[in-house]
Structure 1
């Protein structure tokens, strides 16, 4: 090896290797790989400078300086070659699919070992320094250093063990010693986690190797999340479970497979205890999904009249909640609804008293296209989007209404209505209209004409979005209406 290094061939080999490293580094888009090649490129460029100085000015240098110059360019050439060879070998192996990239600590140990192997013969040949005998005669120093560096060496070997077993790697979400965060670095001495609050927590590797590690990010598998709450005893468990599962179906980022589940797991003093489990694709989404679920389940329970035990205690101390809107405001909105203009003021007053306020959270689907419907909604507060085939065709705000076509004719819902903001809707069910027709049979022909007109407006809006509806004449609408409400 030394005769080769002492000839001019290292200069040629160094130039070729430097050009190879520059070309591969320029062609790679991997930032980490480019950084590693940058280190080897620094060694090789330093070697070229030192070797040129040796060739041009070596004979004129002081006899004591020349050996140091030789050692310098030999070491930089050896270090640059070792680092470049390691980087290129790892790149080739990963690109060919032979294996994944080895742990960084293991690579560092191998590189340092190769550096030591290169240093020993060079120092022995050029400076007559025998490191092997020096190390052999320094047993006392070794013992002292070993005792002083006991914790450091423990962390080092623990880090090697973690890298070989790989219970986690950079980018994984883990829980170690009740600390949850994303792994941002696995170094010689410690592992660093970044929490959801952007805190960097450093855990010694010997601690990580002794503690149980919960990894949420391995194998590309969905991550299951659990939460629990207490429900009232006066509502059937299946009713509560159905409401929970329907809410989870609409929460963004909750996976449909594996499907969410809701189980009743015990009878406790506060109420029936329910456990909810759902799955997300990435653990980083867990907090946002949990917050969205709790928000939407509050709205759903409020609409269904399901009072949580703590909420019931609060209602008993504060009294029943007041009406969402003043009587004058609701009366004014009813006067503006086309369907109810044919009614007398007294009848509209009855409708006002029969209306039920329903709250929906931003993002919730109030009705779904293609479903059957038996409710009519009047918008009291907020804004909603009307969508057909996923395309928005209109928006609704205070005073607008929807749902009457399906309720009165029995046809499936022709559009999906989504809350763009928190909304409060005033709801009327089919029994209310049944009472109206029973008390005022003359309303059916009048309402069928208004429905036909509304149908033409809806067809025009859907035609603009590329959707089509079957043509329904006024007579057909009246027939459907009479059939549903059993009118003569």
Structure 2
């Protein structure tokens, strides 16, 4: 064997190995596909160089190789196995990446570790000519010792594999694990990292996550629950409290119709009763806003019951005065004015589904809701269905357009539940409008606000979906043929 002819392929193999390591470290990950193709080409050339030198990594190193080159040949043969393991690993990652996603690397790491383990055993057997049985026995003993030493770590690792395979949660999901709520930002070999609502990092071992109960708030992703706990005194009759809570739920437009929202008695104590209110919204981002709105609606509905049952001998208030107190548009009136105006108010009852005020009709009275929920809807054309633009509850007023400019009502007001409404004729309200100019200003701002809100909702009205299918295509073809004739 010529020494020069033997050394030249080895030098080429060393250069190819150096080029491979350099390109893999310095080429950016955006060129990952090109890196894999280049590595395959370099591995092929590296194998060709070893074959030109008369070497085979699948057989022991020949004894006739000169001693100065013997160590180099062993290193290159072992490098061939390790380089092949690395090439196979990145190739499998490239193939499996679209299926397993790019955010969790645990499965990729386990796969790579297994391939490298097989390559190391093969290199020891073929290149170093070590006995396979003895190697496996030694490796088994070492594995047992290491397994006992890192038992908890191995439990976390295998639990992480199970979590990645079953996928009870993914990166970016909001979950609860062991009474810890947070957003999943990483799942590594040993632990799952959660970003809590306080902005802190919670690290949960995978073994604990696999054994405890996991609540995934992000699935299903088409609705999310809003749950409130309300404590009310025992003197309040549960049927009245549940009725007020149900009306508060109906007064929130953002709650989904399905699943249906509801309220129930959760626990009863000596001094108070605990109620649970549950509703569902479409977007998780609206949970806090809807929760705050529900608390406000519950307060308004319960204040009606409190006002009706409150006994205040030091300053007795009539029922009409309490209704005027609940109407924010009339709060600038003094107590004497409220008491005098209350004498002009007349009580009207509306059943669920009954129209309180029609659209395009000029109102001649101001209406104040004492209890119940009123749906506000508009009809923009004779062939279109009605579009709900809002809902009203206790303390809201209707008919302000007649006071402002004598124009017709822009919406239809329909009772969703049984409603108690007080009415004040405009002729009885004129003295207060002339004496209190700010009262007319409030009505003008209220009418302007509602007109803007109505216009905005109408503009956002979703267009009707275009029906697709064979029959529609057939009708279009028939229509075109008739037009050509």
TM range (shorter): 0.5 to 0.7
Q: After superposition, give the CA deviation of every residue in 1:218-246 in whole Å (9 maximum; x if it has no partner).
A: 34342333222134616834640343123
Show the counterpart of 2:409. 413
Counting matched residue pairs gives: 361
Show the counterpart of 1:85. 91
> CA separation in 2, counterparts of 1:244 and 1:132?
75
The 1:347/1:265 distance shift into structure 2, 3 A limit, reads: closer
Residue correspondence of structure 1 range 75-154 to structure 2 within 5 A? 75=81, 77-91=83-97, 94=99, 104-128=105-129, 133-137=134-138, 140-154=141-155
Show the counterpart of 2:5. none
Check if 1:243 corresponds to 2:216: no
Show the counterpart of 1:213. 214
Does the residue aligned with 2:218 lie in a helix, a strand or coil?
A: coil
> CA separation in 2, counterparts of 1:308 and 1:108?
68
Q: Are 1:83 and 1:111, in contact at CA under 8 Å, matched by a contact in 2? A: yes
1:257: Cα distance to partner?
2.8
Unaligned 5+ segments in structure 1 are: 28-33, 333-345, 356-366, 378-386, 390-400, 417-427, 444-449, 469-488
The 1:349/1:267 distance shift into structure 2, 3 A limit, reads: closer
Given candidates 419, 423, 427, the residue that maps to 1:430 is 423
1:405: Cα distance to partner?
3.4
The 1:142/1:122 distance shift into structure 2, 3 A limit, reads: closer
1:145: Cα distance to partner?
1.7
Q: Are 1:259 and 1:278, in contact at CA under 8 Å, matched by a contact in 2? A: yes
The 1:76/1:138 distance shift into structure 2, 3 A limit, reads: closer
Q: After superposition, give the CA deviation of every residue in 1:192-220 in whole Å (9 maximum; x if it has no partner).
A: 22211222111112211221222222343
1:277: Cα distance to partner?
0.8
Q: Are 1:192 and 1:202, in contact at CA under 8 Å, matched by a contact in 2? A: yes
> CA separation in 2, counterparts of 1:278 and 1:216?
14
1:278: Cα distance to partner?
0.8
The 1:127/1:237 distance shift into structure 2, 3 A limit, reads: same
1:113: Cα distance to partner?
1.5
Q: Are 1:44 and 1:80, in contact at CA under 8 Å, matched by a contact in 2? A: no
Residue correspondence of structure 1 range 54-453 to structure 2 within 5 A? 63-64=69-70, 66-67=72-73, 70-71=76-77, 73-75=79-81, 77-91=83-97, 94=99, 104-128=105-129, 133-137=134-138, 140-231=141-232, 233=236, 236-237=240-241, 239-249=243-253, 252=254, 254-264=255-265, 268-271=269-272, 273-281=274-282, 283=284, 285-299=286-300, 301-302=302-303, 304=304, 306=306, 330=332, 350-351=340-341, 370=359, 375=366, 403-405=399-401, 413-414=409-410, 430-431=423-424, 433=426, 435=428
Show the counterpart of 1:471. none
> CA separation in 2, counterparts of 1:354 and 1:107?
79
1:67: Cα distance to partner?
2.3
Bigger Cα displacement from structure 2, 111-120 vs 268-277: 268-277
Q: Are 1:44 and 1:81, in contact at CA under 8 Å, matched by a contact in 2? A: yes
The 1:231/1:410 distance shift into structure 2, 3 A limit, reads: farther
Does the residue aligned with 2:251 lie in a helix, a strand or coil?
A: helix
1:46: Cα distance to partner?
8.6
Q: Are 1:370 and 1:413, in contact at CA under 8 Å, matched by a contact in 2? A: yes
What's the C-alpha RMSD, in Å, of the aligned pairs? 6.3
Show the counterpart of 1:358. none
Does the residue aligned with 1:244 lie in a helix, a strand or coil?
A: helix
Q: Are 2:82 and 2:120, in contact at CA under 8 Å, matched by a contact in 1? A: no
1:285: Cα distance to partner?
4.9
Unaligned 5+ segments in structure 2 are: 1-8, 56-64, 346-355, 369-377, 381-396, 413-420, 435-439, 459-485
Does the residue aligned with 2:280 lie in a helix, a strand or coil?
A: strand
Does the residue aligned with 2:227 lie in a helix, a strand or coil?
A: strand
Q: Are 1:173 and 1:183, in contact at CA under 8 Å, matched by a contact in 2? A: yes
Q: After superposition, give the CA deviation of every residue in 1:360-384 in whole Å (9 maximum; x if it has no partner).
A: xxxxxxx99959986369xxxxxxx
Does the residue aligned with 1:431 lie in a helix, a strand or coil?
A: strand
The 1:231/1:25 distance shift into structure 2, 3 A limit, reads: same
> CA separation in 1, counterparts of 2:121 and 2:308?
75
> CA separation in 2, counterparts of 1:242 and 1:412?
32
> CA separation in 2, counterparts of 1:155 and 1:136?
26
1:406: Cα distance to partner?
5.6
Q: Are 1:265 and 1:274, in contact at CA under 8 Å, matched by a contact in 2? A: yes
The 1:38/1:193 distance shift into structure 2, 3 A limit, reads: farther
1:353: Cα distance to partner?
9.7
TM-score scaled by length of structure 2? 0.53
Q: Are 1:228 and 1:273, in contact at CA under 8 Å, matched by a contact in 2? A: yes
